[in-house]
Amino acid sequence: MSQVFSGLEALVVLVVLASCGVSCPTSCDCPSISEAVCYSNPAPGRLPSGLPTGITSLVLGHANLSYLANDTMSAVRTLQRLELRDVRLKWVQAGAFHALASLQTLGLQDNFLDYLEPNMFLDNPRLWFLDLSGNDLHVANNSVFLISLSLRELNASRCRLDYLPDQAFQGLLELRVLHLEGNYLHFLHMRMLSPLLQLTHIYLQDNRINSLRNTPAASPAPLLSHMDLSGNLLTTVNTDAVGVAGALRQLLMLRNPLVCDCRLAPARSWLEARGIEAPGHCAAPLHLVGVDWRGVHEPACSTGALTPGHSRPPAALASAEQGLAQSAAVLACFSVLLLV
C-alpha cells in the first residue's frame, strides 16, 4: 500500500509542476525549475521551445544559432545568465538583448562575431560580466568599442585584435577588470586606460607588444594595481607609461626578451622604490640569460653589449678580434725572419 501512495505522490508532484509551467525541452537538461543547459536549437535565430517559465539561467553550446534577431529573446525575459558558446554566431541585431532587463552575465565566446553595435547593452542596467573571447573582433579608428553603464568585467581575449584606438573603452566607466590576452596588439598606449577610473586589473599576456607609450602624457588610472604583460616582446620598461597605473603593485614581465644592461637599471630602481613586484628574466647579454632582472644591480653598457640590433653576441666578436690579433702576430714573425 505504501508503494501505491508513493507512486500517487510522485504523480501529484509532476501534475503540480506541470500546472506551474515547469517544462524542459528534450534537447536540454534542467537542473532546476529556473535553469536549462541545451545542446541544440530548432533553427537559426531560434532558441529551444518549451523552456521553463521564469527561467533565469540558459546555457546553449555547440549548436547552430547563427544569428540573434531583436525578438529571439522575447520568451526568456527573466534571464540573469545567458551563455551562447560555440553556436556559430555571426551577427547580432542591435536590439537582441533589450528585453533582458535582469541580465547579469553574458557569454558569447568562441563564435564568429566581428562587430557589435556599441549601444547594444544600454538597456541591460545590471550587466556586469561580458565574455567575447574567441571571436574575430575589429575596432575602427577613432571609435568606441562598447558602451555600458554597469559592466565590471570584460573578456576580449583571443579576438585577433591588432589595434585599439585611445577612446576604445571610454564607454565603460565602471569597468574593473579587462582581459586582452592572446591578441595581436603591437603596443599599448596608456591613454586608452585613462577613462577607466575604476579599473584595477588588466591582462595583456601573449600579445606582440614591443612598447609602452605615454606621449602625450595620459591622466592616471588611479586604481590600477595589476598589469600582466607576460609573453610579449618588451626589451625594457617605460616607467613614464607604467606610472599611469596609480596604485600599481604587480607588473608581470615574464617571457619578455629583457635586455639587462644599464638602460634597464633606472626602471628597476623606480619599481623597487615603490614596492612594485615585477618578475621577469634577462634575455641578454648572454652571461645573464635566464637571470631574474631584479637581481642585476650594476648592469654595464659597453661597446660590445648585446642589444636587439646586434646579430652576433659579444663572445663571438671577442673571438674574431682575438683571431685577427694572432694572425697579425704571425705575419710580424715572418717579416722578421725574412729580414734576417
**CA dist 65 → 78, 88, 155 (Å):** 20, 6, 21
Mean pLDDT of 12-35: 70
Kindly list the structural domains of the chain, giving each domain's residue range(s) and its CATH number in brackets, ordered by start: 29-299 (3.80.10.10)
Distance CA 23, CA 117 (A): 34
If you write DSSP's letter for every residue of 99-154 in order, what string do you get?
Answer: T-TT--EEE--SS------TTTTTT-TT--EEE-TTS-----TT--S---SS--EE
pLDDT in tens, 253-293: 999 999 999 889 899 999 999 999 999 999 999 999 999 99
pLDDT level of residue 306 (50, 70, 90 thresholds):
very low
- The phi and psi torsions of 106 (rounded to 5 degrees) equal -135, 125
pLDDT level of residue 177 (50, 70, 90 thresholds):
very high
Contact 260, 299 (CB under 8 A): yes
pLDDT for the residue numbered 335: 46
pLDDT for the residue numbered 140: 87
pLDDT level of residue 111 (50, 70, 90 thresholds):
very high
Of 271, 265, 216, 264, nearest to 242 by C-alpha is: 271
- The half-sphere exposure of 229 on its side-chain side, counting CA atoms within 13 A, is 29
Mean pLDDT of 90-111: 97
pLDDT in tens, 81-98: 999 999 999 999 999 999
Long-range contacts of 273-277 (CB under 8 A, 24+ apart): 274/248, 275/249, 276/248, 276/249, 276/250, 276/251, 277/249, 277/250, 277/251
pLDDT in tens, 178-205: 999 999 999 999 999 999 999 999 999 9
pLDDT level of residue 337 (50, 70, 90 thresholds):
very low
- The phi and psi torsions of 177 (rounded to 5 degrees) equal -130, 130
pLDDT above 70 covers a percentage of the chain that reads 81
pLDDT level of residue 23 (50, 70, 90 thresholds):
confident
Among 116-120, 138-142, 165-169, 272-276, name the one with the lowest average pLDDT. Answer: 138-142
Distance CA 223, CA 297 (A): 30
pLDDT for the residue numbered 17: 42
pLDDT level of residue 216 (50, 70, 90 thresholds):
confident
State yes or no: pLDDT of 107 exceeds 70: yes
Query: How far is Cα of residue 245 from the mean position of the Cα atoms in its chain?
Result: 17
Contact 60, 84 (CB under 8 A): yes
Cell of 277: 613586484
State yes or no: pLDDT of 54 exceeds 90: yes
Q: How many CB atoms lie within 10 A of CB 135?
A: 23
pLDDT in tens, 219-240: 999 999 999 999 999 999 999 9
pLDDT level of residue 302 (50, 70, 90 thresholds):
low
Contact 184, 163 (CB under 8 A): no
Distance CA 330, CA 74 (A): 92
pLDDT for the residue numbered 117: 95
Q: How many CB atoms lie within 10 A of CB 257?
A: 17
Among 20-24, 87-91, 121-125, name the one with the lowest average pLDDT. Answer: 20-24
What's the sign of the alpha-carbon dihedral 144, 146, 148, 153? Answer: negative
pLDDT level of residue 298 (50, 70, 90 thresholds):
low
Contact 296, 282 (CB under 8 A): yes
Computed over every residue of the chain, the mean pLDDT equals 86
Q: What is the DSSP letter of 42?
A: S
